Structure 1
Amino acid sequence: MSTTSEQITDRRSPHERVAADLRDEILSGVVPPGAVLPAAELQQRFGASRVTVERALDLLREERLVAACAATADAAASDAVVLAHRQRTMRPSRSLAPADPGQPFRWVTEARKRGVRADCVVLEVEVVAEPPAHVVRALGLGVGSPLLLRSQVLTFDDEPAGLVKAYFPLEIVRGTAMMERRRVRGGTSTLMAELGYPPLRCVDCVSARIPTQEQQALLKLPHGVPVLRTFRVVYSDGDRPVEVHDTVESGHLYELQYEFTQA
């Protein structure tokens, strides 16, 4: 139960606050899969009304974190059972290298190692005459430099999980398979390496954001779920920036893991 001072500063509705506490406990493993959440006990714990608890559980059902309990003699209709959460741990550093010959790109390979059926759907491939200024700056190009934009949706087990907008200098990719509206065999990193621009270093800026209307629609996000936004700049020989990936990932499906060693 939140303290009085916390309730004053938390401007969310009561059912959103209850759902937030339960969500955190489920995702962190405090409440394991298979555990029953009796509505009556939740009302007492949070000092909340029956309607508030039911609305909180409705939010968690929409996120597929809980489900209605099977009808039993001692289970109320509004009780819920905790499901195994679907948040997957992905390691961005392992998706940088080009794919092995004949293999799909690294993101798919890494997801499959974790038992996830991963795939991607190409949305659009187009030359952007006036790309976003922050992307142009990241690539070290002048204002008005056209870029190739490749947009695609990443899926986990056929469920939208990420939206990627990848930008490339037109002078590098012009006339290549990158310009075609189809998936590139082995991923764009593989083709860039074949073109003489192997990915050697990347810099990621990660932040949590409220989804835009486009992101909400394409990722089919449950109500109130944020997105993780990763702005990645990929560098090649001579520390030249050659790619920018602006990616948003569903907050309830993604966890990013980074590993560091002492320099």
Structure 2
Amino acid sequence: MSERYEYERVAAKIGEEIAKGTRPPGSMLPSIRDLMATYKVSKTTMENVIRLLSDRGLVRAERGRGTVVLDRQGGHPTRVRVTQSAVAAAPEDDDLEDWEAACAEQERTGALVTVAVSEGQARDDVAARLQLADTGRRVIRRFKHARLDGRPAQLQTAFYPVERFGGTPFAEEHRLTTGTYAAMRELGFTPANRDEVVSARGATPEEAVELRIRPGSPVLVIERLTRDDQGVPLELLRIVADSLRTELAYEDLPLPRP
């Protein structure tokens, strides 16, 4: 029997077990050594099996854990819903932050965790987006994990001008007690509109460590700039999301009137 036929046969067998739920999403495959013994194949063949299953989006090797079964069969990625009507209304709660609710709707465990809050000089690209003058380029940086079933699925980094948000709850090392926009309103700001750009690229080595994926794995990059009613930037939010565990849904978008 050729090696190619052999690893395709084993991959099909494991794929069938995943489809039937014998190996459910989030479970770990046995070690390569144990899989070799179970399917009576060589190490090279088993490594090719894992590579093939990974290419099909059924499993993923994760640093320090092993090979995890993904939830691609059945198609139930956690969805972050952003609708045109919600954008126009500037909701009290920030829909991109409502991670727990999005996860709960799909019977998954979600948590938005504040990892670090710091103050420092803004990089050139951040200063330009926030329209900061050269003499006032200090920003508050809030870094958060959006976790799905205990593991980071998104890395969220938000920047706020110190001259507007210094000494407020945005500068404190704990999670805001309300949504971002509600907290802004409590301080007297009026978030009125936002721009949002979504792109894709490979994960950097640093992002890969945080998300527990391999460097170069595809990630979604969401950049959102929120302005007040005078057009002055209030927040720059950058999200790096594991593309296999996050789906963005833009629903009920209005069509142009004739």
Which of 14, 20, 28 matches 1:34? Answer: 20
| Percentage of pairs with the same residue | 24
**Matched position secondary structure for 2:217:** coil
Aligned to 1:132: 123
In 1, are the aligned partners of 2:99 and 2:112 still within 8 Å (CA)?
Answer: no
| Unaligned ranges ≥5, structure 1 | 1-13, 27-31, 37-48, 68-81
Q: In the alignment, does 2:96 pair up with 1:111?
A: no
In 2, are the aligned partners of 1:225 and 1:252 still within 8 Å (CA)?
Answer: no
User: Aligned AA for 1:150?
Assistant: R
Q: Say what the alpha-carbon RMSD is for the aligned residues.
A: 3.2
Aligned to 2:255: 262
User: Aligned AA for 1:261?
Assistant: P
Aligned to 2:226: 234
Give distance in 2, aligned partners of 1:112 and 1:118: 7
Displacement of 1:157: 1.8
Give distance in 1, aligned partners of 2:147 and 2:119: 25
Structure 1 runs of 4+ with >6 Å offset: none
Aligned to 2:166: 174
Give distance in 1, aligned partners of 2:52 and 2:107: 28
In 2, are the aligned partners of 1:198 and 1:237 still within 8 Å (CA)?
Answer: yes
Which of 207, 211, 214 matches 2:199? Answer: 207
Give distance in 2, aligned partners of 1:176 and 1:246: 21
In 2, are the aligned partners of 1:203 and 1:232 still within 8 Å (CA)?
Answer: yes
Displacement of 1:108: 2.8
Aligned to 2:82: 92
In 1, are the aligned partners of 2:222 and 2:240 still within 8 Å (CA)?
Answer: yes
**Matched position secondary structure for 1:111:** helix
Give distance in 1, aligned partners of 2:75 and 2:216: 17
Aligned to 2:28: none
**Matched position secondary structure for 1:227:** strand
- Normalising by structure 1, report the TM-score: 0.67
Number of residues of Structure 1 aligned to a counterpart in Structure 2:
205
- Normalising by structure 2, report the TM-score: 0.68
Give distance in 1, aligned partners of 2:111 and 2:70: 26
Aligned to 1:76: none
Give distance in 2, aligned partners of 1:155 and 1:35: 23
Aligned to 1:75: none
**Matched position secondary structure for 1:246:** strand
